[in-house]
């Protein structure tokens, strides 16, 4: 019996059924591949497409992204989540612009030394845009390989991850590496999906260990469950006499890093007292809105919105521009935390 040629089967399937018209597959360059790969981390293709198109329209190359303001970058990222990705994109663009004369490094080691670039993203850049043989292991590929070899354990465990990388490397061919890389991502996204895999149409079906043992849905094995804690925070929607809302720029690191948000505190009274001291005027609490919940990867946040007003507030709130007044209907051009944007938009809609 002939040995099964994994890459040959995958490439034959790709030639007939693979995706070839995605925006980042046109005018292929390291820059376009890099932006798309970062956006696609933990985000579906259908969600990414309009973001990618807007981002590339605003920043068509590494120079324009490197010279952009962080606020402009974060604004175009608003809604995609995991904002550290956007900040790292901006940082890496500046490094490539300044240290590499706008040319992407051409080795795995150099690429992985840059902010936000892991082994799989580096492999995608090398294989898809430079035709270099470099394995990848994004979520889709992990799922295909986990099922094909019935690999036990959560991929976050080093033993499981090592086994997956070894298999990915062994199966990556020497030829047609760009097509193979795209094919593996497509296979995981379209056939070997998480909840309803289309095994009957899969080119790997007869040699897939999970399929042979009727255990496809058992792979890949998930992260061990743990209880997600819940936190509460009060967010103050403070209006001045001009109808503007006070917004604060969050620190670069941590939740919503670098984005604009509302003043917040775990308790209501300290939040109001601090702002009264800083703005040198009494704050009048007008209304307490219903609680909203936003879930992060590691905790739930209960948002308690408070509407308030202040008279004779200073126009210049902070000398370093970390806190400013903004009209709630003119919030374009700044990066806003998604639940805060939704809250302000809902209030603006009610006032119309």
Q: Annotated catalytic sites, by residue?
A: 37
Whole-angstrom distance, CA of residue 231 vs CA of residue 82: 19
pLDDT attached to residue 1: 33
DSSP 250: P
- 282: Cβ–Cβ under 8 A, 6 or more apart, which residues? 276, 310, 311
Q: How many CA atoms lie within 13 A of 348 on its CB side?
A: 15
**166-210 per-position pLDDT tens digit:** 999 999 999 999 999 999 999 999 999 999 999 999 999 999 999
- 327: Cβ–Cβ under 8 A, 6 or more apart, which residues? 242, 243, 244, 245
Domain segments of the chain: what residues?
7-218, 230-351
pLDDT attached to residue 269: 93
pLDDT attached to residue 352: 58
Low-confidence ranges of the chain (pLDDT < 70): 1-3, 315-321, 349-352
Does CATH place domain 7-218 in 1.10.340.30?
yes
CA distances from 284 to 161, 269, 288 (A): 55, 12, 12
Query: Can you say how many angstroms the Cα of residue 125 is from the centroid of all Cα atoms in its chain?
Result: 17
pLDDT attached to residue 310: 92
pLDDT attached to residue 317: 63
pLDDT attached to residue 349: 65
Q: Domain 230-351 class? A: alpha beta
């Amino acid at each position: 019996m002939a040995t099964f040629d994994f890459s040959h089967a995958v490439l034959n399937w790709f030639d007939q059924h693979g995706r070839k018209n995605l925006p980042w597959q046109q005018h292929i360059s390291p820059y376009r591949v890099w932006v798309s790969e970062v956006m696609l981390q933990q985000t579906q293709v259908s969600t990414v497409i309009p973001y990618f198109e807007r981002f590339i329209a605003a920043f068509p190359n590494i120079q324009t992204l490197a010279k952009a303001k962080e606020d402009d970058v974060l604004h175009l990222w608003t809604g995609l989540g995991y904002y550290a990705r956007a900040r790292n994109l901006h940082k890496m663009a500046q490094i490539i612009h300044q240290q590499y004369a706008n040319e992407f490094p051409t080795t795995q080691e150099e690429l992985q030394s840059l902010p936000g670039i892991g082994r799989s993203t580096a492999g995608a850049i090398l294989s898809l845009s430079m035709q270099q043989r470099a394995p990848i292991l994004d979520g889709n590929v992990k799922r295909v390989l986990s099922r094909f070899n019935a690999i036990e354990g959560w991929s976050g465990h080093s033993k499981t991850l090592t086994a997956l990388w070894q298999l990915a490397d062994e199966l990556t061919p020497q030829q047609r590496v760009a097509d193979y890389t795209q094919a593996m991502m497509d296979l995981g996204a379209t056939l070997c999906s998480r909840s309803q895999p289309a095994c009957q149409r899969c080119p790997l079906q007869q040699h897939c260990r999970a399929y042979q043992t009727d255990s496809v849905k058992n792979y890949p094995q998930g992260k061990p469950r743990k209880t997600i804690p819940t936190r509460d925070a009060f967010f103050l929607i403070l209006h001045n006499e001009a109808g503007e809302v006070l917004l604060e720029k969050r620190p670069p690191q941590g939740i919503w890093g670098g984005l604009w948000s509302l003043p917040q505190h775990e308790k209501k009274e300290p939040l109001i007292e601090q702002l009264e001291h800083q703005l040198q005027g009494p704050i009048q609490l007008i209304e307490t809105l219903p609680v909203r919940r936003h879930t992060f990867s590691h905790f739930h946040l209960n948002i308690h919105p408070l509407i308030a007003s202040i008279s004779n507030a200073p126009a210049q709130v902070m000398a370093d521009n970390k806190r400013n007044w903004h009209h709630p209907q003119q919030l374009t051009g700044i990066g806003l935390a998604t639940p805060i944007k939704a809250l302000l938009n809902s209030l603006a809609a009610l006032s119309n």
